[in-house]
Amino acid sequence: MKKINLFLISLIIILSVNNKVCFAQISNGGTPYSIMFQAENNYQSIKFDSPDIKSISEEDQINEASNPVAPRRMGTSVKINKNMSNSGSWTIIPEVGKIWRLRLIIDGALALGVYYDDFFIPEGGELFLYNHDKSQIIGAFTANNNPKGNLFSTEFIEGDIVTIEYFQPKDIITEARISISELAFAYRDIEFMYNNQRDSWYCMIDVACEEGDDWQNQIKGAARMSIKIGGSYYWCSGSLINNTNNDRTPYFLSAAHCGEGSSSSDRNQWIFYFNYQAPTCNGTNSSYNSTTGCQLRANDPSFADAGSDFYLVEFNNSIPNSFDVFYNGWNRTNSADDAGNGVGIHHPAGDIKKISTYDTPLSPSTFWNGLPTHWKLIWAETVNGKSIMQGGSSGSPVFDSNGLIMGDLTGGYESNSCATPSPAYYGKLSYSWDQNGSTAAYRLVDWLDPDNTGIEKLPGISWQIIQPTADYESSSTEITQGDTVFFTDLSAPGILEWDWAFENGQPETSIEKNPYVIYTDTGFFDVSLTVVNADGTDTETKFDYIHVSQMALPNTEFEADNTNVLPGENVRFSDLSTGNPIEWEWTFEGGSPSSSSNQNPTVRYSTEGVFDVTLVATNLGGSDTLIKEGYIVVGSVGVGDKNDDSKVVLFPNPGNGIFIIQFTDIHSNEIRIEVSDNVGKTIKRETITMGTNEFILDLHLHDEGLYIVNIYDGENHISKKITLIK
């Protein structure tokens, strides 16, 4: 490892969170639906065993004593392996959707970070996280947050309880995948404070102070890094960096020792915080924007032992325009002539962004590893004091007098403090350019100058200077009447507004990014898209782009739930036509109604007879007719009908609700009567003691239809059908 004791590699991890402060991890904001709709808190809670802090502390003491330059651990992973299939509770919000919630608890945690091994939010879904008293809420995370590799992480939530809440709108059928692999259990060096107490040393100067007035663009490019390495968590600093294509590829430069030992999976869960700074000099309120996940592009393979300690990553996601970032330029010369004065911009101890000034030229130094890999820098006194470096500043950029990056911070003396400032040592950009190795994995040139232009100094660029280029594609250009076409916007960069025009489409216009359109008329139709970003507009029109052919005629078919009924009974008809019909025209001989335009009508037949049924089904292409002759047979069960047992006479039948039962040959003293409807549901029970041979059955409160009267005379059973007509 490193050959001397250096203060900056021992990372101090402190996080300040305030429910009054605006935090944004590429999310849409908003309020959890459980709060908006006052859902009950009776959802699943799972408590996990706390790590053995005593053993962890002993291990920390041993590691820190044997290797004082190693990162200072502040948290450890707790494996949980919980997902939407095996855990959590669903709550229905009528007419709105449903929410899935899961409360995770690990006693003793100062904060909990959530790490996902499978993360997918469908369009329309929203994910929130919050602590026990909801003083800290982050989200909503949406489909815009879906990582390419499915790995994701969310920021630390204060305390030892975190709730994960997912909202699924009622019209969304695509299922979310939220699989939580582990929690980051923070056991030290993490604070949530909202007062004037500062996490970094007292001599650090906010970028909002006058020392930062001339460095506003450079400040926008510098950011804080939340680093996961295996089961440990740290802070580092770094900066966005431009490339010669000026295409705003989200490259981020930091120090190799910040990423030493990290895996690809770890890096997919790193979090980068932009704009985490006080709005005023010595202010307390702060806000930030953050993005999750990166891919390693190149690094010093020696991690500063024999190189310049650089680490270049590329974010998994493009940076939203709302972040208002700046891609810092660079100076790859090995000359300090342009660096007579400049600044370092950094996040000491994970605190809000600070600025430190030097006013003497950078000097080449071999102090770090015996090779000419680093710049040496001496900090200067300014209006607000002498701001220096601290743990967590590692990887931060040093700028020359023209605002160009000349290197990234490796470290300084272990004795460094506000009272005894150490020189700071920055790995040279000139050395990182092409001297740490001979392949793209070990040098910057392949990434920052992909076309090998040979440029030595490249100005930085803002996110907002490129005019938009409108472009799009559709799911299909050859369709049939009634088909839906999905349009995908391919415009870039930083599109803020979309204005679509669809000739003869439904809708004819849209302001959605990726709309869908239905075409019902035949022909060739134009599509036009106008896009807007911060710099202007552009329009792309594709003439005769969508060709709509005539739809094939439908194939008409239907069925009835009963084709043999009694007078007064209802028949439900079901349309079985294929070919996407949109209109139905029924004709019912002998029925009431005699016609219908419903897809699945219900018809009453009151007159005995044999009747035809006709259906005309129509789609966008035309119509088809089906006639079923003699399809419905209507006959009644009357007083004169034969019954297997003549011991009972029931009349009138049909009747309007009052029926008389006459017993002609009954021997039991007690008779039981049960009446059921035509689906077998019992609607009435009576037990009578025989004192007469006649009983009145009252069904006038029941609906029209066919009923079965079961009469039980001891072990004998008599069944009668009756028809109720009103």
Task: Look at the pTM and tell me if it is higher than 0.85.
Answer: no
Predicted local distance difference test score (pLDDT) of residue 19: 36
Predicted local distance difference test score (pLDDT) of residue 383: 96
Residues 6 or more apart whose Cβ sits within 8 Å of residue 468: 491, 492, 493, 494, 495, 531, 532, 533, 535, 536, 537, 538
- State yes or no: pLDDT of 488 exceeds 70: yes
User: Measuring CA to CA, which residue among 588, 592, 601 is closest to residue 568?
Assistant: 592
Distances (CA, A) of 673 to 528, 678, 695, 714, 717: 74, 16, 10, 11, 10
User: Measuring CA to CA, which residue among 172, 72, 74, 161 is closest to residue 126?
Assistant: 172
Q: Which of 16-25, 52-61, 234-243, 629-638 has the lowest mean pLDDT?
A: 16-25
In three-state secondary structure terms, 380 is: coil
Predicted local distance difference test score (pLDDT) of residue 141: 94
Predicted local distance difference test score (pLDDT) of residue 193: 44
Q: What single string gives the DSSP state of each residue in 251-272?
A: EEEEEHHHHTT--HHHHTT-EE
- State yes or no: pLDDT of 68 exceeds 70: no
Backbone phi, psi, residue 633, to 5° = -110, 125
Given a contact cutoff of 8 angstroms between Cβ atoms, the answer to whether 141 and 25 are in contact is yes
- State yes or no: pLDDT of 73 exceeds 50: yes
Backbone phi, psi, residue 266, to 5° = -55, -50
- Mean pLDDT in residue range 643-670: 79
Distances (CA, A) of 189 to 59, 192, 226, 235, 596: 16, 10, 13, 11, 74
Angle at 649 between CA 648 and CA 651, to 5 degrees: 145
Predicted local distance difference test score (pLDDT) of residue 250: 97
Structural tokens at position 471? 């472009």
- State yes or no: pLDDT of 618 exceeds 90: yes
DSSP 492: B
**What is the edge-to-edge ordering of all strands in the sheet holding 595-596?**
564-565, 622-634, 609-619, 583-588, 595-596
Confidence of residue 703 (pLDDT cuts 50, 70, 90): confident
Largest CA distance in the chain: 125
Dist CA 92 CA 95 (whole Å) = 9
Confidence of residue 407 (pLDDT cuts 50, 70, 90): very high
Predicted local distance difference test score (pLDDT) of residue 28: 75
Q: Is 368 left (phi over 0), alpha (psi -120 to 50) or beta?
A: alpha
Predicted local distance difference test score (pLDDT) of residue 582: 93
Going from the N-terminus, what domains does the chain have, and what CATH number goes with each? 17-186 (no CATH), 210-462 (2.40.10.10), 472-549 (2.60.40.10), 558-634 (2.60.40.10), 648-724 (2.60.40.3080)
Dist CA 531 CA 534 (whole Å) = 10
Q: Which of 371-375, 588-592, 604-608, 722-726 has the lowest mean pLDDT?
A: 722-726
Structural tokens at position 574? 């079901």
Q: Per residue in 173-193, pLDDT tens?
A: 999 999 999 999 988 767 654
In the block, residue with structure tokens 């968590």 = 233
Dist CA 282 CA 216 (whole Å) = 17
Q: Which of 39-48, 77-86, 455-464, 620-629 has the lowest mean pLDDT?
A: 455-464
Q: Which of 56-65, 325-334, 654-663 has the lowest mean pLDDT?
A: 56-65
Predicted local distance difference test score (pLDDT) of residue 646: 67
Percentage of residues of the chain with pLDDT beyond 70: 91
Q: Which of 53-67, 568-582, 589-603 has the lowest mean pLDDT?
A: 53-67
**Residue with more model confidence, 718 or 285:** 718
Distances (CA, A) of 533 to 226, 530, 588: 31, 10, 60
If one counts every other C-beta atom within 10 angstroms of the C-beta of residue 581, the result is 22
Predicted local distance difference test score (pLDDT) of residue 459: 83
Radius of gyration of the chain (CA): 38
Confidence of residue 198 (pLDDT cuts 50, 70, 90): low
**Residue with more model confidence, 505 or 726:** 505
Q: What is the four-CA torsion angle of 586, 587, 589, 592, rounded to 10 degrees?
A: 70
Given a contact cutoff of 8 angstroms between Cβ atoms, the answer to whether 39 and 91 are in contact is yes
Given a contact cutoff of 8 angstroms between Cβ atoms, the answer to whether 117 and 150 are in contact is yes
Characterize 505-521 residue by residue with b for buried, 16 or more Cβ atoms within 10 angstroms of its Cβ, and e for exposed.
beeeebeeeebebebee
Percentage of residues of the chain with pLDDT beyond 90: 65
Angle at 130 between CA 129 and CA 131, to 5 degrees: 145
Predicted local distance difference test score (pLDDT) of residue 71: 56
Predicted local distance difference test score (pLDDT) of residue 18: 34
In three-state secondary structure terms, 158 is: strand
With 0-12 / 13-18 / 19 or more C-beta atoms within 10 angstroms meaning exposed / middle / buried, residue 61 is: exposed
- State yes or no: pLDDT of 27 exceeds 80: no
- Mean pLDDT in residue range 156-164: 95
Given a contact cutoff of 8 angstroms between Cβ atoms, the answer to whether 307 and 301 are in contact is yes
